Structure 1
């Protein structure tokens, strides 16, 4: 039976580094525009304790999300040792399109996937390029879609990218702005022969929209003096935290159980880098569903240095571990891993994968 396998990965980590201390002079406000009854040093220290974020990366001023996507795509193509002309699909996950530095308008015409195909100079018209909007789980969903194309027999090679420049859509007066960062990650998903034991084993995807649809949303600045027609990324943090802890472990269990693989075989979990304490709680609850302790080192983390780059967190984290760029973390042939994410929509997904 034909399955889908990741044959190459690539990432682009922006060079502009912003440490927490650089927010010391920020004017953080409450949602009603009032001032906090705390010094910025206290706010920043509490922020680090909860999220684990020490610093984050921002895109260079002259680059947009599609540029970052192109850089990551080039590396994935090189890693997989394929000819880009042989690609059947380019699937690019993002949320805000190309937002140029110091502008307020999102640009998605043409699609970012088309822009990447253009930058790759691909002539093949049968290489179909399109974007998906699925919140932070967008890249994982793109991999799921690539697998579907391969299993349907209409694709053999797909390029899946997650790219975002969240630093361009944050309200600098909202302390949550410290969470977000920029980056891009990509992978090549290829059809495997029937004798291969590696590849995607199973997946699960869910959308919760009845009450949860607007847990992440676009809203005005907390500074009443700012243009009220300009919108920024906003979130109901506590609601998202509680939602994720309740629902993400269940979705991960659905994916793992569908694979028929034992929990004891899971070596690594690559989870969306949203919040260190939230991610740790999700992993604890997941293993608790199987009445198992959490294995040491099962959850690689990159949020401390890279922040939350939305759709880019999972693919960049995966690339970093596969390339040996995270200390004491590795994936060996035959290892079973989980890819999992949660985000705007509210969407959740997970993939069980064997290397």
Structure 2
């Protein structure tokens, strides 16, 4: 018998930290090359080149007293309060992150208890049947959490799930690495529930892990120069060029696989909500995707909304934050209405890639 249960978004929420860090705030930083030698170009030139590639002019950092679980809680609270959904009716709370709670001015991960348990505690949920767990999956963690929630709901194991993405990347990056300017903090959340309406909800999804050759493109490393921290400090570091090449070669194929699985042509897609990793890379991915369908003319600014210019790259929080902003009509020029088909996609450490095809 055909399964008629569909998984739909019932609510969204986000928390955007209020500490704004502009590019000009990095003018007095000391930046070094990967080999430990000082970058010879002046900081104004380095920052402008960064802006041209990443598309970032400012980013948000959590307040000193806030940690990732706090940002996740505030995003979850927003989703619950804006929808009127009772938190006691949640069957699962899935929290995507990569570094746990990191206290200000340290880079030590604290993941006991799980962030999901902490957030459930802060929400005051009494229901013991509400299962709370964490999902570390690189930047695609929130998208993967939605995929897991879809499995729970379609199997009949759950009727309502919350998926949160939260991160404080500003606390795990090396201040002397120019890539530090990419990263930011934030939290986003969605509540998914079962629906009997066949033409809405998650139509398909696809996930891949390319670990044999590409697992080490994003790693944690000791700095190659003295940054004044603890002797055993490790920081987030990436091989930017190879990561860019990997994403361009593989992400469009995963998105197409998800579209093929759903029986949906790219021309039917209203929006592509992609992880806000890097403006140049995301635009190149979109161009490659349209090229797979021999579509040469399209408006990338219309199809692919971008918030990276003012929010930076907050890892697992970028996609749910973007979705919340659009659905709450806070992004002029972008609207998602009933019947619109949307692609969600992400790529990140692992290297992991995933995509979802969804109809509103």
The answer, yes or no, to whether TM exceeds 0.5 is: yes
Match of 1:14 in 2: 17
Per mean C-alpha deviation after superposition, the further-off stretch among 336-345 and 322-331 is: 322-331
Query: What TM-score does the superposition give when structure 1 sets the normalisation length?
Result: 0.98
Match of 1:322 in 2: 327
Per mean C-alpha deviation after superposition, the further-off stretch among 86-95 and 69-78 is: 69-78
Gaps of 5+ in 2: none
Relative distance call for 1:294 and 1:78 in structure 2 (3 A) is farther
Gaps of 5+ in 1: none
Deviations 1:114-172 (A, max 9, x none): 00100000000000000001000000000000000011110000000000000011100
Measure how far apart 1:295 and its partner are. Answer: 2.9
Q: Following the alignment from structure 1 to structure 2, what is the Cα–Cα distance between the partners of residues 5 and 295? A: 28
**1:247-286 map, 5 Å:** 247-286=250-289
- Among 19, 27, 31, which residue is 1:28 paired with? 31
Relative distance call for 1:55 and 1:222 in structure 2 (3 A) is farther
Relative distance call for 1:294 and 1:228 in structure 2 (3 A) is farther
Q: Following the alignment from structure 1 to structure 2, what is the Cα–Cα distance between the partners of residues 229 and 329? A: 46
- Among 168, 190, 193, which residue is 1:165 paired with? 168
1:89 aligned onto 2:92: yes
**1:267-346 map, 5 Å:** 267-293=270-296, 295-296=298-299, 297-346=302-351
Measure how far apart 1:294 and its partner are. Answer: 5.1
Query: What TM-score does the superposition give when structure 2 sets the normalisation length?
Result: 0.97
Deviations 1:196-220 (A, max 9, x none): 4210000000000001001000011
Q: Following the alignment from structure 1 to structure 2, what is the Cα–Cα distance between the partners of residues 225 and 308? A: 23
Deviations 1:85-136 (A, max 9, x none): 0100000000000001012311100000000100000000000000001000
Cα contact 2:176–2:227 (8 A) shared by 1: no
Structure 1 vs Structure 2 CA RMSD: 1.0
Cα contact 1:173–1:222 (8 A) shared by 2: no
Aligned length: 354
Q: Following the alignment from structure 1 to structure 2, what is the Cα–Cα distance between the partners of residues 225 and 299? A: 38
